[in-house]
Chain A
Amino acid sequence: MNALWPALRAALIAAGLAFPVVALRTDLNMDNQLVLEPRWSWMLAAMALAFFGKLALGALPARKPKAAPAQTAEPPARTKWIARAGLALIALWPFLALFFAGPSGALKWIDNYGVQILIYVMLAWGLNIVVGLAGLLDLGYVAFYAVGAYAYALLSTQYGVSFWICLPLAGILAAFWGVLLGFPVLRLRGDYLAIVTLAFGEIIRIVLTNFSSLTNGDAGIASIPRATFFGLPFTAGPNGFAAFFGLKFSPIHRIVFLYYLILALALLTNFVTLRLRRLPIGRAWEALREDEIACRALGLDTTKVKLTAFALGAMFGGFAGAFFAVRQGFVSPSSFNFMESATILAIVVLGGRGSQIGVALAAVAIIGGSEILREFDFLKTIFGPDFDPTQYRMLLVGLAMVAMMNWRPRGLVETRAPTVSFGQARQIGADMVKEGHG
């Protein structure tokens, strides 16, 4: 009986929460007027869920406080092997897809599951430098992605500059914007910095939307030149890639090429990050994340340290942006809204800020997961024809961010090998590390 009252209370609260928004759906009728369509069963379901959920929670034995786990002495060798096996799989992925799905079926697997995920892996690794290593929450990261994309789009359509020249230019431009925006704001403390970067991201988007003479406004820039294989276009003609190598022309060549291009860019990001972490600047980033005041007391120029992280993260965002433009052949401001920033941030947060492999896994889970949601057509037979599983993507991402902060605030990969160590490098569990001001 004692367990029933809290459960009843939970059900009542669920009813209160669900009553207007869930139980009554507003819809336009034939006369273009809003009418209410009752869905009491949904509300009852929510109440039942809360009731039995609470009951089940109450029935669980009280959780004993876990004894502090000893330092996990798991050898780093195992993660290394996982990473290598994963890398081999990723490197062979297009050929596996071609082998198993055939040239027509492989397109989806390489493009949607390969290129799309790798773009986000790269973006998340870039943001990871800012959020994960330096501990600066950047809510406007997509602005640098946009700078890179528009840099390539404008330079190639207006001046005919080739992709291979634009790619470094896009990175440099984005880094320049990073310095420009970062310089005034990096003195701010963590949460203010987050909000200001959000404001800058939005300002750049609004300017891209309204500065129509340059950016063509909401309509975006179309027919951006495709990438070439070091000068060989992916066309059917005699000067094309296929003819040069004596292959039969197929559009899949371009996709496979894009796949390896983004893979190389992503790995470059990872490589640079891993190397920088061993340099004094990388150590300074991590020290800054743990305790800014201590850093200042030890004589680090915190603004300069933050600025390098910000600019470097922005640069990789710019590379990814140029790649995005060349892949889509079309850019418009709507690709660079706040939800995009939030998705990239969610990947970094869920993967474990600072953990490269965790971030890559989280990108696969979130972006691959939302692609998989598209395949769940059978759910329509359960929930009716109006049910669209892809709508639930961001909803789940938001919930996952909340849940992650509450239960595993350091992300999926909680343990971290110290970058610098005396003697044997042992992994450090989350309980051993307390983060400072960030």
Chain B
Amino acid sequence: MELFLQQLINGVTLGSIYGLIAIGYTMVFGIIGMVNFAHGDVFMLSAFIALILLLALQQMLGVFAPVLSFLIILVGAMALTGLWNYMIERLAYRRLRGSFRLAPLISAIGMSIFLSNFVYVMQGPRNKAAPPMFDKVIKLTSGSSYDVTLSYKQILIVVVTASLLAVFWFIVQKTPLGRAQRACEQDAKMAALLGVDVDRTISATFVIGAALAAVAGVLYLTYYGVVNSQDGFVPGVKAFTAAVLGGIGSIPGAVLGGLLIGLIETFWSAYFSADYKDVAAFSILAITLIFMPSGLLGRPDVEKV
């Protein structure tokens, strides 16, 4: 029971991170029908940006207050990662919208290779350990053999995720930008005829997706405390799995899928085998795509001629 409870806490924490990344996949897929393969590497880049901003704050400006520095790196990483993704969309994807279907995917694979190697070349091959933040731990139960703990980091992750999701939900549902986004998702040509600036809306989608990935990156950095230039690939694929599981194109589906993948992964590691935890995620990806391609909450994808 203690193990179950502990894994539940860990799974929800991990799932929040996956859910945040998954939103970026699902929004881009919804609006231009493209698997943004580079999104995992954008996430990794944001973790690096956060790490460097944190070190800069501590070593160059002497700011050590945890909450203040956390807020600064969060906002800074969101803005800078958004800028990165804006430029990536401009340079690598925009011209390909009328091209054959696999062209954007191949371009995104190239971008993914570029980003991971760019960070590798610029920052070196080693794991980079961040200075620890929010280290305190709350003991929930002290069982006979096993203490169930809830760390400040985990509370922080769930709280930040929930509040940013609320803000994001408000943007999509209530603002003109969100309306334009949903219009483009349904029918980009019609939206353009009605005066929606489709290019701008797609750019905004990429920026928002990157900003949420940056939140995930900052949280990942605080949670694990270490980041490497190759860290984008596996979380990226898992988040994509989450998006597919929840039904690609559906934003609540991405969050739900992220939580499910996080829970499945932690429980799998705890009860079966930690060595094969990635196999679990990859198998879910394959099985979902084969048997249930519209996911849990997605709309079936009908190809019209």
Contact = CB atoms under 8 A, between A and B. Distances in A.
Interface stretch (B14-22, B115-123, B144-152, B170-178): B115-123
A401 B80 contact: no
A26 B109 contact: no
A308 B275 CA distance: 34
B55 A34 contact: yes
A4 B59 CA distance: 36
B110 A24 contact: no
A20 B113 contact: no
Interface residues of A, number: 64
A209 B279 CA distance: 12
Contacts of B70: none
B126 A402 contact: no
Nearest to B117: A395
| Interface class of chain A by DSSP | helix
B35 A191 contact: yes
Interface string A426-438: 0000000011111
Interface string B109-137: 11111110111111110101111000000
A198 B122 contact: no
A22 interface: yes
Interface stretch (B153-161, B254-262, B263-271, B284-292): B284-292
Given A191-B105, A196-B285, A199-B282, A26 B303 contact: no
A206 B276 contact: yes
Interface string A361-379: 0000000000000000000
Interface string A337-354: 011001001100100000
Q: What class of interface size applies to chain B in its complex with A?
A: 35 or more
A258 to B, nearest CB: 29
A57 to B, nearest CB: 13
A139 interface: yes
A342 to B, nearest CB: 6
Contacts of A406: 91-92, 95-96, 107
Interface stretch (B5-13, B43-51, B179-187, B188-196): B43-51
A398 B110 CA distance: 4
A16 B278 contact: no
B204 interface: no
Contacts of A276: none
B65 interface: no
A438 B303 contact: no
A47 to B, nearest CB: 14
B293 interface: yes
Contacts of B215: none
A378 B297 CA distance: 57
Contacts of B282: 199-200, 202-203, 206
Contact of A405 (B110, B278, B279): B110
B213 interface: no
A345 B122 CA distance: 25
Given A188-B290, A346-B110, A391-B120, A194 B80 contact: no
B56 A401 contact: no
Contact of A206 (B34, B56, B244, B278): B278
B83 interface: yes
B237 interface: yes
A437 B60 CA distance: 53
B102 interface: yes
A293 B102 contact: no
Contacts of A202: 237, 278, 282
Nearest to B281: A199
B140 interface: no
Contact of A207 (B60, B240, B279): B279
B296 interface: no
A17 interface: yes
A21 B76 CA distance: 13
Contacts of A65: none
Interface string A394-410: 11011111101110010
A290 B293 CA distance: 24
Interface in A186-236: 187-192, 194-196, 198-200, 202-203, 206-207, 209-210
B111 A402 contact: yes
B114 A395 contact: yes
Contacts of A165: none
A26 B305 contact: no
Contacts of B130: 34
Contacts of A139: 109
A401 B103 CA distance: 10
B42 interface: no
Residue among B34, B101, B286 with most chain A CB within 10 A? B286
A119 to B, nearest CB: 20
A92 interface: no
Contacts of B237: 195, 198-199, 202
Contacts of B103: 405, 409
Contacts of A135: 102
A27 interface: yes
Contacts of A395: 113-114, 117-118, 121
A394 B285 contact: no
Nearest 3 interchain pairs by C-beta: A401-B110, A398-B113, A398-B114
Given A16-B80, A398-B114, A398-B117, 11 more contacts: A21-B48, A34-B128, A187-B290, A199-B282, A200-B286, A338-B233, A392-B121, A395-B113, A402-B107, A409-B99, A435-B100
17 contacts: A16-B80, A16-B83, A17-B87, A20-B53, A21-B122, A26-B128, A35-B59, A36-B56, A188-B289, A196-B285, A203-B282, A206-B282, A342-B113, A345-B109, A394-B117, A398-B110, A409-B99
Interface of B: 34-35, 45, 48-49, 51-53, 55-56, 59-60, 80, 83-84, 87, 91-92, 95-96, 99-107, 109-115, 117-124, 126, 128-131, 233, 237, 240, 244, 273, 275-276, 278-279, 282-283, 285-286, 289-290, 293, 303, 305
